[in-house]
Amino acid sequence: MRLGLFFVVVISVLFAVPSLAQEQYNHPFNHTQYTEFEGLLQQKGTDFHTGLRPFRVKQMNEVAPFDSIRWINHHKGKLSRTLVGRKLFRVSLLRVDSAKYQFYVDPVFNLEIGMDAVTKQRLTVNTKGITFRGSIGKTVSFRTSFWENQATYLPYMNAWIDQNQVVPGEGRIKDFQFDNALYRFLGVTVKGYDFSIASGHVSYSPIKAVNFQLGHEKFFIGEGYRSMLLSDAGYNYPYLKVSTKLWNFQYDFIFTQLQDPRLFTTFESGFKKKWTTFHYLSVNVGKSLQLGLFEGVIFKSDSMGNGNFNWNYFNPITLFRSVQYAYDHSGNNALVGINAKYIPWNGAVFYGQLAIDELDFTKLSQGGNINQRLGWQLGFKVYSPFKIKNLFARLEYNGALPYTYAHESSLQSYTHYNQPLAHPLGANFHEFVGELVYRWRDLRFSYRLSYASVGRDSVGVNYGNDVYLPDTDTYLGPDSYGNKLGQGVKTALTYQNVEIAYVVNRASDLNILLGLRHRVSKNDFSKEENAYIYFGIRTMLRNLYHDF
């Protein structure tokens, strides 16, 4: 079977006739930015699979002129036609464009200063870097970025970072003291963090129906703001991705190696690793319905962190945990799920997810069995509602039962780099999310509100919230009954983010912005509140999830 698949791939690559346009690379996934063009992809009868993000630029251009859409109503004054104006407002910092290859260079930065109205602390983010992207011929493209950061955060973020030794979604930290003259002038004297990030991928499409990618990034499955299957809230990981499209089907296979910094032993050996595969099969059913089947398998590792890899997991038919057990009963940890969307009218999407970590039908009759571990999502989003052009709205509900995504060993839990692979709240919660985005010319207004009820763990007691805690040491014991959603330290979490931005350059997505983040976390034992007002100059390159 494997040999046959190998020859099919080799023959396809060797004898394919390149007939593709350029820009095979992925367009960085940012929720707010994607609202500018995604409405054109959410149309009845559109042969575009939106379940796995980021999207390839080539695929988007086949449906709609992506590049042209982003320039509508952008600067058209005399200044934008000068050399300086073009560089500032319209094009990349460096651009080489020929018939055989293209190459673009843009700066990456996030210069932010703000103050928490509650604690009166002044905070800052200083990010600077560079991104390269380009194409060679019609079949090969690449995109790579590097940036380094010095940042200070609100107290709840500091507590989380100190505990996990990573910045959410951005990598491992070392302490940084803001003690130079500039920061003293700005009034920033609190402890900060220093960290750097590298990402990139090479994309190769030998024929229109097949794409190979090799890179160090992350993926998101779903239509929502959150994902209960695979989110981009965590850190990057190295990966090999194969994507094939045939008729109404699209199949994506991602092979990666995740890390567990909590099991660090020596600098020579580094963090403990865990081999992982993600399978996603999507199909268009009629003109309005799209269904996706998902499987994520984390291969079993021994106590020394050595993986037990099985080549059978490269079988593209492997989509369910029952197939995994049929091979070797190896005990590899698997998450299976469904991702679905329905388009009732153009630009409107009902969507949902069901994540199944464990489901024991023999114990369903008795309530609250620990072996029933599910995550779910229901949502609705609409582009240009009530015929209001450039308006986007979303309502979403998410939840996960206690101990979902957890395992007896953190090396097999559904995690990477001290963060969950799915929802950043972990498990044992339910959450409502509302979102509005409106664009008028180069101005963009965005508002997001989330409310979550979370059953937090307490000292020495695992109620099912922290997915890193072993599921063999639980509140009511292994194989127990009576577990309930929200058990533990019941915490109400409200998070709001309102932002007004002026888009200076769409090529680099340079923004000047002013915003407010308001967070309240309250339970019977404590209350935390922050109201962070900030001003910044930023290139939007990635999603950052601080709403937890």
Average pLDDT along the chain: 86
Whether 91 and 74 have beta carbons less than 8 Å apart is answered as no
Residue-level pLDDT at 496? 98
Burial readout 399-414 (b: 16 or more C-beta within 10 A, e: otherwise)? bbbbbbbbbebbbbbb
Does 451 or 6 have the greater pLDDT score?
Answer: 451
Q: How far apart are CA 90 and CA 311, in angstroms?
A: 48
Whether 16 and 212 have beta carbons less than 8 Å apart is answered as no
Whether 45 and 63 have beta carbons less than 8 Å apart is answered as no
Residue-level pLDDT at 88? 67
Sort 19 into a burial class: Cβ within 10 Å, 0-12 / 13-18 / 19+.
Answer: exposed
Q: How far apart are CA 57 and CA 93, in angstroms?
A: 20
Q: How far apart are CA 199 and CA 29, in angstroms?
A: 13
- The set of residues, in sequence order, having a beta carbon less than 8 Å from that of 369 and lying 6+ positions away, is 360, 363, 479, 480, 481, 483
Q: What is the pLDDT of residues 204-231, one digit of tens each?
A: 999 999 999 999 999 999 999 999 999 9
Residue-level pLDDT at 472? 86
List, in order of start, the domains of the chain with CATH numbers: 20-539 (2.40.160.10)
Within 10 angstroms of residue 86's Cβ, the number of other Cβ atoms is 17
Token pair recorded at residue 223: 């239509």
- The set of residues, in sequence order, having a beta carbon less than 8 Å from that of 481 and lying 6+ positions away, is 363, 366, 367, 368, 369, 370
H helix runs in 310-418, sequence order: 321-328
Confidence of residue 68 (pLDDT cuts 50, 70, 90): low
Residue whose structure tokens are 């054109």:
40
Torsion over CA of 463, 465, 470 and 473, rounded to 10 degrees?
0
Confidence of residue 327 (pLDDT cuts 50, 70, 90): low
Q: What is the pLDDT of residues 139-197, one digit of tens each?
A: 999 999 999 999 999 999 999 999 999 999 998 998 877 666 666 666 666 778 999 99
Token pair recorded at residue 102: 């293209």
Whether 236 and 215 have beta carbons less than 8 Å apart is answered as no
Q: Which has the closest alpha carbon to 468: 420, 399, 398?
A: 420
Long-range contacts of 521-524 (CB under 8 A, 24+ apart): 521/156, 521/491, 521/492, 521/493, 521/494, 522/491, 522/492, 523/456, 523/489, 523/490, 523/491, 523/492, 524/489, 524/490
Residue-level pLDDT at 221? 99
Q: How far apart are CA 213 and CA 231, in angstroms?
A: 19
Residue-level pLDDT at 175? 81
Q: What is the pLDDT of residues 328-379, one digit of tens each?
A: 555 678 899 999 999 999 999 999 999 999 888 777 777 788 889 999 999 9
Strands 166-167 and 415-416 come out as: unpaired
Residue-level pLDDT at 74? 57
Helices and strands of the chain, counted as H and E runs: 9, 26
The pTM assigned to this predicted structure is 0.91
Q: How far apart are CA 225 and CA 165, in angstroms?
A: 25
Residue whose structure tokens are 């930023």:
538
| Amino acid found at 146 | F
Q: What is the pLDDT of residues 453-505, one digit of tens each?
A: 999 999 889 999 999 999 888 888 877 889 999 999 999 999 999 999 999 88
Confidence of residue 1 (pLDDT cuts 50, 70, 90): very low
Residue whose structure tokens are 């190459």:
103
Q: Which has the closest alpha carbon to 382: 543, 227, 545, 223?
A: 223
